Amino acid sequence: MSLKGFNEMVDILTVCLMWMIYISSGGQISLERLQILKYSGSNHNFYYDRSFKNIVVKLPFSMSRKEGVQYIHLDEKTSLFLFHYIYVIRPIYMLSLKGNYSFVKRNFFGSEYNDSQLESYFPADIIDPNLSINEYGSFVFKTQLFVG
């Protein structure tokens, strides 16, 4: 398989995994929330629940002046796929990119979101305009689950 074919296959797997998480969560995780899920770094969203043997997604929520945390348990099959995606597929994919992360866009969500909204999702260093395109892409790729 060529490198281009491999990268296309990973893109297809990523979309399938996004749908699996969406369905497994019962639709509780919207597209916007899926795009900001972090698997490493500060404020990561994934935890392993030993008693249920599945992955739990931790998401903040706010409702009419009340803020809290929502825990969403993924089913066993989705948890297994997610584990393999993070620890097997993702590292191989990152190696295949050979340090070229220039395709990662600074505006994740398109024109409808502005910098103040991004600041609420990401630490300040991720939107630092002084970061080069590759530095920015590398940081994002090593922390965010669904970027690329």
- The full DSSP string for the chain is --HHHHHHHHHHHHHHHHHHHHHHTTT-S-HHHHHT-BSSSTT--EEEETTTTEEEEEEEEEETTEEEEEEEEPPHHHHHHHHHIIIIIHHHHHHHHTT--TTS-S-TT-TT--HHHHHHHS-GGGG-TTS-HHHHHHHHHTTBSS--
Band (pLDDT 50/70/90 cuts) for residue 66 is confident
Q: Give the lowest-confidence range in 62-66, 69-73, 111-115, 135-139.
A: 111-115
- Global pTM reads 0.78
> For 27-42, what is each residue's pLDDT tens digit?
888 877 887 788 888 7
